[in-house]
Amino acid sequence: MLPRPGASVGLMSDVATNVRYRWHMSAEARALTLLTAVLVAFGLATVYSASAITAMQEHHNSGFFVLRQLSGVIFGLLVFAVAAKVDAERWYEWAWPVMICSLVLLMFVVLPFTTRFAPRIHGARRYLFGASVQPSEIAKLAVIVWTSMLVIKKGPALRRLSKGLLPFVLVVGALDVLVYLEPDLSSAMFYTLMMGIILFAGGVRVGHFVVMVIVGIPVLYTRAQKLQYVMLRMSAFLDPGLAPSHVDYQSRQSLIAVGSGGLFGVGFGNGRQQYGFLPFAYDDFIGGNIGEEWGFIGLTCLILAFALYAWLGFRIARNARTPFQRLVAVGITAAVIISAYLHLGVVISLLPNTGLTLPFISYGRSNLIMSLLLTGILVNIGSEREKVIGDGATNPLELAPV
């Protein structure tokens, strides 16, 4: 990056006096970093407790899943550190490349001749290269930064239905169609919800939301009818007494787990659901394992921890450096919190089974890395650039602002 005309003298002076520029985290950003570290550490412990028996039943050592998760933590922390040090405003320029990359990867997942690289796992094609990469997680970042970018770019035109709202519906709708084909209706609904939240924060007309709901509900219902697993889950949620036992088995076992935990839980590592009674107790239903081993108190603390994440995130959004970063902060905070509370709602049967994981805690490296990346961006938004002179200068790889 070359300095502007007239800025070279100041830049040379900074170099001569050993001046560096670094990011100084606000109190909210520091608290968010600490909270994230606590959640990740708790997640590793919980994954081990919930998966040790299952790993041995599958002829692995007891630490098989937690070691794989630990590799995701290490890579995720590197991603977090880089994201926290890269100016979040750069994502404005990277929005289209990230969106195009997400569309290409999702298309690659569902094409009929790519099964060698995108195998069908548990009845769905959601991963690339075995179970290493989940493009639908990358698409979450794409929806947040791309929608925020376009809201700022359109400005007053956002309040017009055709030129304002239609481009958002077309592009995010393309993502929805691709994940629907995996099939993964939950992610499609999640993308649309995130787009709607950012549009609302950006000042779109409320009437446009009414139009979206009127048009979207019939389409959603029609698509859901074509996915048998969706209709079975809905029927099990609305009338659990008449649902086949195999449909709501996970939900019933999760309720048993949470109920048997009582007020204080049965103790770490002492839960019975880890013996295979609750399928995917370390993944989609890890909240059930937490409820059993840590009880009502444990689940309450977890709910409060994510409430704290929301409070910190929205405070960072309020104090963001630019309107674009404000929208990105709102989107990131909403994405993490909605995922967490939907997961916990499913665990106690307040909501139908959605398949959404618990951020920072559930087993799954793609989701963990993406959650840490999003939080890193949020930390940068909550930081200010400061000048450091002398031997205390840090971050020499950062270019001086021009």
For the segment 268-280, the average pLDDT, to the nearest whole number, is 81
> Do residues 165 and 204 touch, judged by C-beta distance below 8 A?
yes
> Do residues 294 and 305 touch, judged by C-beta distance below 8 A?
no
Instruction: With respect to residue 391, please indicate whether it lies within any of the assigned structural domains.
Output: no
For the segment 266-274, the average pLDDT, to the nearest whole number, is 84
Share of the chain above pLDDT 90, in %: 42
> Does a cis peptide bond (omega within 30 degrees of 0) precede residue 183?
yes
Instruction: With respect to residue 16, please indicate whether it lies within any of the assigned structural domains.
Output: no
Counting DSSP H helices and E strands in the chain, the numbers are: 13, 2
For the segment 35-40, the average pLDDT, to the nearest whole number, is 96
In order, the DSSP letters of 116-170 are: TTS--BTTB---BTTTTB-HHHHHHHHHHHHHHHHHHHHGGGGGSIIIIIHHHHH
Instruction: With respect to residue 22, please indicate whether it lies within any of the assigned structural domains.
Output: no
110: nearest Cα among 129, 94, 132, 128: 128
pLDDT tens, residue by residue, 177-190: 898 888 777 888 89
pLDDT of residue 155: 80
Range of 262's domain?
27-381
Q: Which range is least confidently modeled, 69-73, 149-153, 173-177, 183-187?
A: 183-187
For 5, the token pair is 């005309």
pLDDT tens, residue by residue, 190-245: 999 999 899 988 887 777 667 666 766 666 666 555 555 555 555 555 555 555 55
| Cα–Cα distance, 50 to 249 (Å, whole number) | 18
Domains of the chain: total: 1
Residue 118 or residue 301, greater confidence: 301
Query: Which residues, at least 6 apart from 163, have a Cβ–Cβ distance to it below 8 Å?
Result: 154, 157
Instruction: With respect to residue 272, please indicate whether it lies within any of the assigned structural domains.
Output: yes
pLDDT of residue 144: 96
> Do residues 401 and 21 touch, judged by C-beta distance below 8 A?
yes
Q: Which range is least confidently modeled, 282-291, 329-338, 346-355, 375-384?
A: 346-355
> Do residues 387 and 21 touch, judged by C-beta distance below 8 A?
yes
